[in-house]
Structure 1
């Protein structure tokens, strides 16, 4: 299946960014991992796929539980770093919605924020169902909308600087999108045929520093980084100044940032043909 313009843009947004991601946004995204693995029923001996592994936080945690872990990422730089960080996992370069695995190979599949980065979420979820055995569980996290205040900080800085998203960074096509709410994510899972579906919100304060939080965009990490870097040095500096000003409302007495975030955690079970697994 050909990539969508959104998929192609995502490839560019993460190319060569593994170290910069690990030093900043990676710690934020790792917060949800323990509950993600619990929702997928990851236990010792389970065959687990971590899709969109990034630098391997979920894969590492699954290995620590004694699971047999395969991890994939579309970005070779991420896969290389994950291989070094989690040598006990089998890490491959592969991208949704086409995974190089047999039907029903895995007991559990986890995707930590991976659905935020695919152009056809429904098709991607169908592929995750294909590689999960009947009765196995799939668990996914997703950034909720509207964004929590801490998550929205960098975007607010871009807007305050008078910068708009460049046309070269396409949004998800409307026909491929879905509501980033508990009901919307449950509906997506049920539409893929998953049973025993549940979804809940996870809220937490991410503690960081202004320097660390700006380092991601400054290095071009993710879409926000591509927006910053596309503007040239003078405009990027204007965005940074707006970030510093807006960050004051999240700054504690020690000078660090306390950034409220909210994500959705959903899971479901692949049905056994002819009956529902409870």
Structure 2
């Protein structure tokens, strides 16, 4: 396990409920497109890697697929069992999956590559458990980020806060350009054929209270950054956040946050 992986485990420990109440609805947006890209149909054997609270697993089950799902965080698998009761949910982390070679017709991973230290190995493992000709489809956040995605980071920067030293970055050898070309190259390096990548754009609607609840609870890297500050600095970040929200608020005070993600898919 890399230092990045260890940091991710700590960041997400016992965070399923806080994630469900903050960022989960945002991350659910690409799921229908992701399942379409993987060709999910009734009767298919499907694996959802990094299932989180089980959104993609539940959606695949609604299409009649036979679904297995894994996540590295016990609180996530506990919620996924409730949200996707027809799925077989396991505690496991990329790049080590507890399945046989060629076991699945399709594998999907919604934003999981943002949270693994060995991205190429993760995709190679996903290919290992996918039958020849089966499809793999993944999403990641795009760089540069869309305006709505940078809101919280801008508030942190405005308070003079940088990335804490205890949060390691991804090793350079495991990183890749977070654009269509970079994701396509990563999928091809993992042995996938007929690779296609595209950018998904959407406006996420939320409230300032809901959007702040994620970092306030320590969810993800942004949350770990906020929670590692003194109470005074946290209040300063929250104040800047409140001011910046005005850029995105509609007449009812609802935030309309533009986001962009990359979706890539190919055949094993």
2:252 matches 1:254: yes
| Inter-partner Cα distance in structure 1 for 2:33 and 2:82 | 24
What's the counterpart of residue 70 of structure 2?
72
What's the counterpart of residue 86 of structure 1?
84
2:223 matches 1:225: yes
| Inter-partner Cα distance in structure 1 for 2:186 and 2:139 | 13
The within-5 A match list for 1:1-278 is 3-270=1-268
SS at match of 2:182: helix
SS at match of 2:30: helix
Runs in 1 of length 4+ with deviation above 2 angstroms? none
| Inter-partner Cα distance in structure 1 for 2:139 and 2:146 | 15
SS at match of 2:237: helix
CA deviations 1:121-155 (Å, max 9, x no partner) are 00111100000000000000010000000001101
| Inter-partner Cα distance in structure 2 for 1:100 and 1:203 | 34
The normalised TM-score by structure 1 is 0.96
Deviation at 1:232, TM superposition (A): 2.1
| Inter-partner Cα distance in structure 2 for 1:232 and 1:135 | 52
CA deviations 1:181-207 (Å, max 9, x no partner) are 000000001111110100000000000
RMSD, aligned α-carbons: 0.5
Deviation at 1:247, TM superposition (A): 1.1
- 5+ residue gaps, structure 1: 271-278
- 5+ residue gaps, structure 2: none
CA deviations 1:3-56 (Å, max 9, x no partner) are 111000000111111011011100000000000000001000000000000000
| Inter-partner Cα distance in structure 2 for 1:208 and 1:143 | 19
